[in-house]
Structure 1
Amino acid sequence: MNLKKTLIPILSLMLVLGIATSLLAKEIPALKKPIKVLMVGGGSSHDFDKWYKGVDVATLEKDGLAEVTYTDDPTTILQYLSDTDVLFLANNQPIADQATRIAIFAFAEAGKGIVLTHPALWYNWEDWPEYNKTMVSGGSRGHNAYGNFNVDLTEKHPVTKGLPAHFSLDDELYYFKVDTAGPGIDILANASNEKTEPFPSIFIVKNPKAKIVGIALGHDAASHELEAYQTLIRNAVKWAAK
């Protein structure tokens, strides 16, 4: 048996297989891990289970974008926060525990992502003014009666990518006002109708470390089942997670 003649074909085959494997590795990108989202809901005036726990969780988990933990019990926030990429606040019930409040601010200080939606943009907590001043840079104390209004984009941004420049929906038009003592906001879209002046509806809070998105839309099905809204919250989570 000629060992040399036997080894050459084997080595050639190994070389070909090695090249093929290398090329396949370049062609097939590594699978991205889902973004870990902690969504906090619960409170009054909204069907949190139906629209946030139900529809929004499904929207974010579609195609493996995110892995969402939903809680309507604020006392559980601490146990999940350390393993979270994006904190998605959709609650207007109290977060009374001081340690949890401190942890949320520490989460922001660590440069993490936060999405603040419709219920969480209200002035909900008189005993926690730092939340609206620093985390939201403002808030709303009133809104139009539920009805139709327009949303108009004001600048291009990854959060609004794929949204129409102009769309309308039925919702509560929040009278969001900026707190000038806060970090300020970059307005990405305004909401208005023929009787109401424009108010910020989609915006970025100019937090020096955290990536914070504010979304004033989200009262019921007209928002949560709207393609533009679903694109918006997916964009917001993706941007905040980077």
Structure 2
Amino acid sequence: MKKSLIIIALLTICFFQADCFAQKSKKSKFRALVLYENGGHHLEFTKAAKPWLNKLAIDSSFTIDYIENTKTINEALLSKYQVFIQLDYPPYTWSEESMKAFQNYMASGKGGWIGLHHATLLGEFDGYPMWKWFSDFMGGIKFVNYIPDFANAKVNIEDKSHPVMKGIPSDFFVNKEEWYIYDKSPRENVHVLASVDESTYEPDSKIKMGDHPVIWTNDHFASRNIYIFTGHSPELFKNEAYTTLLRNSIFWAANKN
């Protein structure tokens, strides 16, 4: 009888120890902050992105929080996160405090940044002047045009050795994208990881840029950063190359790979 009680006690201890170990193993690896648009024509992308991001966070044991505007962005807030994702949110409507906080965040090396699509809507919009620092951050560019009726196109990887490109083919197709045009290529000021082949536009478009980078990182900052132009259509979350790129970018920006 005593022997049985001892065995039960030992099993109970092992159970709780295993449970405690499992709890510890599920401890959040890092925290991610996502700034997203909750309206306009990018809403459908947001609706597809959030459940995908939430599942990735659960499966990969990191914490993810969301904000819909930049009002709460300050140095204290950003200091809590290892990666900041600008999910289809433009570089205007930011307050002086939020702009300064983000600039310091990128200079500190304490957290990384991923910007999608709308993050390069650089210019004078809705009564706001262009954020010069952000333009320089993105390679000194200014938005001038886009393909409003969309086009499919092939994206060519230029730096296959970069960690964000692991598991991605040397080229892949993106459907239904706006393909922003800038006043110049950012290539001279950034590290280009991929570009769009404008000869593959379907349907063809006269709105072309020539040298047209669509994924790049700015190595002049202490914080890891990557801009990924594609980010308009919710269909992107059915594109394995795109989801692999986004997943890789999150872990790379968070300094976890």
Instruction: Please say whether Structure 1 and Structure 2 have the same fold, judged by a TM-score greater than 0.5.
Output: yes
Q: Is the 8 A contact 2:49 2:234 kept in 1?
A: no
Name the aligned partner's letter for residue 156 of structure 2.
D
Q: Structure 2-normalised TM-score? A: 0.72
Q: Offset at 1:60?
A: 3.7
For the pair 1:53 / 2:50, whether they are aligned, the reply is yes
Name the aligned partner's letter for residue 41 of structure 2.
S
Q: Structure 1-normalised TM-score? A: 0.76
SS at match of 1:103: helix
Q: Offset at 1:238?
A: 1.0
Which of the residues 179, 202, 224 maps onto 2:215? 202
Alignment-derived partner of residue 152 in structure 2: 148
Q: Kindly, what percent of the aligned residue pairs are identical?
A: 25
- The structure with more strand, counted as a fraction of residues: 1
Alignment-derived partner of residue 108 in structure 1: 106
Name the aligned partner's letter for residue 136 of structure 2.
K
Q: Offset at 1:122?
A: 1.7
Q: Offset at 1:62?
A: 4.8
Once the two structures are superposed, the pairs formed by residues 166-177 of structure 1 within 5 Å of their partners are: 166-170=171-175, 171-176=177-182, 177=184
Worse-superposed segment, 71-80 or 208-217: 71-80
Judged with a 3 Å threshold, the aligned counterparts in structure 2 of structure 1 residues 93 and 139 are, in CA distance, closer, same or farther, namely closer
Q: Offset at 1:226?
A: 1.5
Judged with a 3 Å threshold, the aligned counterparts in structure 2 of structure 1 residues 208 and 150 are, in CA distance, closer, same or farther, namely same
Q: Offset at 1:109?
A: 1.1
Name the aligned partner's letter for residue 51 of structure 1.
A
Give distance in 2, aligned partners of 1:136 and 1:211. 15
Give distance in 1, aligned partners of 2:251 and 2:140. 22
SS at match of 1:46: helix
Once the two structures are superposed, the pairs formed by residues 16-55 of structure 1 within 5 Å of their partners are: 33-42=28-37, 44-47=40-43, 49-55=46-52
For the pair 1:238 / 2:251, whether they are aligned, the reply is yes
Which of the residues 79, 82, 91 maps onto 2:79? 82
Q: Which runs of 5+ in 2 are unaligned?
A: 1-20
Q: Offset at 1:31?
A: 6.3
Deviation readout 1:163-220 (Å, 9 max, x if unpaired)? 111111211222254458xx81111111123254451111111223121101000101
Q: Is the 8 A contact 1:169 1:222 kept in 2?
A: no
Q: Is the 8 A contact 1:117 1:215 kept in 2?
A: yes
Alignment-derived partner of residue 191 in structure 1: 196
Name the aligned partner's letter for residue 71 of structure 2.
T
Q: Offset at 1:142?
A: 2.0
Name the aligned partner's letter for residue 100 of structure 1.
S
Q: Is the 8 A contact 1:59 1:234 kept in 2?
A: no
Judged with a 3 Å threshold, the aligned counterparts in structure 2 of structure 1 residues 222 and 209 are, in CA distance, closer, same or farther, namely same
Give distance in 2, aligned partners of 1:92 and 1:202. 17
Q: Which runs of 5+ in 1 are unaligned?
A: 1-24
Give distance in 1, aligned partners of 2:237 and 2:152. 15
Deviation readout 1:129-165 (Å, 9 max, x if unpaired)? 2111135543533222312101111112101111111
Give distance in 1, aligned partners of 2:213 and 2:56. 24
Q: Name which one, 1 or 2, has greater alpha-carbon Rg.
A: 1
Alignment-derived partner of residue 92 in structure 2: 94
Judged with a 3 Å threshold, the aligned counterparts in structure 2 of structure 1 residues 225 and 158 are, in CA distance, closer, same or farther, namely same
SS at match of 2:42: coil
SS at match of 2:71: helix
